[in-house]
Amino acid sequence: MSLAERYGEASSVLYFDINNFKEINDTHEHRTGDDALMHVADILARNLRDTDIVGRLGGDEFGIILTHTDEDATYEKAEGLVTNIRTTPFRWDGSTMYIDVAYGAYTFRAGESVDEALAAADRAMYAHKRSMKQPP
């Protein structure tokens, strides 16, 4: 938010949620769930710029701040991250699975609060998650 204030440029927040994470924990035990979280965190961290910030928001949710990033670039980055997560196999104890995620994005400008930006990205993520469950 400080960068948006100082430079007057848009930045964005992405909100990622691992789909069916409870199933991973319930079926394969919590250690596997912990490893799945680290797998996703590693993919996110390796595919961001040094100026971007990624962190676990809690449970199976991650937040990312993309500095100096407009709405179009934000969606392009989000889709690239989703593709990387979905196509990078998660391996543990001789088994392999592919992890799916939903995301929400919100581009903010100077004057908006952190809480507003996170809430908007969270709402967008849940809308995305609901749209994924719709039949074709």
Q: Could you list the active site residues?
A: 60
Strands 95-97 and 101-108: unpaired
**What is d(CA 93, CA 112) in angstroms, rounded to the nearest whole number?**
46
**16, 64 Cβ separation under 8 angstroms:** yes
Using DSSP, state whether 10 is helix, strand or coil.
coil
Strands 53-58 and 11-18: unpaired
**What is d(CA 118, CA 110) in angstroms, rounded to the nearest whole number?**
15
Instruction: Provide the residue type at 135 as one letter.
Output: P
